[in-house]
């Protein structure tokens, strides 16, 4: 029971992993298609959390907290994440698409800070942390030795449904085929009549929507939001994507769950180790298997 690998800790780790997975997917997709590490991605997650917060208060007048309201809030959080991602791409990354990679990377860091400080400066948002409302009434279940709230189920279910949807989209639709083509060879894809810019926008849209969904789930599970909340989860999800093999979708998901469980178990062993374990994993992966679990061999520098 007191072991660091107790079933309860694994459940905690899976819950955290589900949130990391949704963020990591956006990192890995954007990298797969435009070879850009989008450091502003963690901030799209933050935007999603604030959108969820705002839309809760907008619709709480019409609907009581419950599944219906949660669904509306989820859709709006995803829409906000998607919108900010597409806008960022349009204004910050698109003009630099055929410039050296380093320019976009530095721009990404700039966009990240811009979003954080802009959100702190907007009076209605402000730099102080806010408590996140209970969009769903909390219910508790007790199985064997494990206490599970409906939030755990919601986190895993939302992440699962979105991931299955994404896999279907990429493997089975014309759009997915176009995305795969662009990730393999942009110029050849263009010659085949694929609108590359549109595919890139759509990639940002999907990645941003996933980050927005993660923002709502994080708000529910760890009910405190603030403009800098995206930095650490963003970094950790990025490490999860690297661990799984950046550019690989199953890799990002697997990496995220490994990270979630590793972090929870490390915290249970020593509470400060948990914060650092992500970076230990990053160093070990970069030393032993730089291409990650499912990654292709690449000579590109980050």
Partner 1 sequence: MKKTYLFTLGLAVGAILPFIGCNKNKDIVIGGVAPLTGEAATFGTSTKQGYDLAVAEWNAKGGVLGKQIKLAFADDKGDPAEGATVYTKLIEQDKAIAILGTVMSKVSLAGAPICQAAKIPMIATASTNPKVTDVGPFIFRACYIDPFQGTVGAKFAFDELKARKAACLFDVGNDYPKGLSEFFKAKFTALGGEVVGFEGHATGTSDFKAQLTKVLAAKPDLLYISDYYSDVAIMAKQARELGFKGPMLGGDGWDSPKLIEIAGSAVEGCFFTNHYAKEDKAPVVQEFVMKYTDKYKAAPDALAALAYDAANIMLDAITRAGATDGAAIQAALGKTDLRVVTGQVKFDEKRNPVKSAVIIEIKGGHEVYKTTIAP
Closest distance of CB 240 from partner 1, Å: 15
Question: Is 48 or 295 the residue whose CB approaches partner 1 more closely?
Answer: 48
CB of 218: closest distance to partner 1 in angstroms?
8
CA atoms of 262 and 267, how far apart (whole Å): 8
Please give the residue ranges that form the binding site for partner 1 (CB under 8 A).
Answer: 1-2, 4, 6, 8-9, 12-13, 15-16, 126-129, 131, 134, 138, 140, 142, 147, 149, 151, 218, 221-224, 229, 232, 263-265, 267-268, 271-272, 274-275
Q: 73 CB contacts (<8 Å, ≥6 apart)?
A: 52, 55, 56, 59, 135, 216
How far apart are CB 128 and partner 1 at their closest, in Å?
Answer: 4
- Closer to partner 1 by Cβ: residue 142 or 297: 142
> Minimal distance in Å, beta carbon 70 to partner 1?
17
**Nearer to partner 1 among residue 131 and residue 165 (C-beta):** 131
Nearer to partner 1, 204 or 238 (CB): 238
As measured in angstroms, the least distance from the Cβ of 142 to partner 1 is 7
Beta carbon nearer to partner 1, 159 or 178: 159
């Amino acid at each position: 029971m007191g072991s660091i690998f107790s079933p309860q800790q694994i459940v905690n780790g899976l819950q955290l992993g589900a949130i990391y997975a949704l963020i990591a997917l956006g990192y890995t997709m954007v990298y797969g298609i435009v070879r850009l590490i989008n450091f502003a991605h963690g901030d799209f997650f933050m935007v999603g959390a604030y959108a969820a917060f705002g839309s809760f208060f907008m619709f709480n007048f019409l609907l009581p907290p419950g599944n219906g309201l949660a669904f509306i809030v989820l859709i709006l959080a995803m829409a906000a994440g998607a919108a900010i991602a597409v806008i960022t791409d349009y204004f910050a990354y698109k003009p630099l698409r055929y410039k050296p990679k380093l320019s976009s990377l530095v721009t990404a860091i700039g966009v990240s800070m811009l979003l954080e400080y802009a959100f702190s400066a907007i009076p209605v948002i402000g730099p102080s942390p806010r408590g996140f409302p209970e969009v769903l009434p909390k219910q508790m279940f007790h199985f064997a030795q494990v206490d599970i709230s409906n939030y755990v189920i919601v986190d895993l279910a939302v992440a699962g449904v979105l991931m299955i949807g994404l896999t279907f989209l990429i493997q089975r639709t014309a759009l997915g085929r176009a995305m795969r083509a662009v990730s393999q060879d942009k110029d050849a894809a263009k010659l085949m009549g694929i609108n590359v810019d549109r595919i890139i926008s759509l990639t940002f849209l999907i990645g941003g929507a996933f980050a927005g969904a993660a923002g709502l789930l994080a708000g529910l599970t760890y009910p405190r939001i603030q403009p800098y909340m995206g930095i650490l989860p963003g970094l950790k999800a990025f490490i999860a994507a690297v661990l799984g093999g950046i550019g690989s979708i199953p890799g990002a998901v697997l990496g995220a769950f490994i990270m979630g469980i590793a972090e929870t178990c490390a915290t249970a062993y020593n509470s400060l180790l948990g914060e650092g374990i992500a970076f230990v994993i990053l160093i070990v992966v970069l030393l032993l298997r730089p291409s990650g679990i499912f990654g292709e061999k690449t000579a590109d520098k980050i």
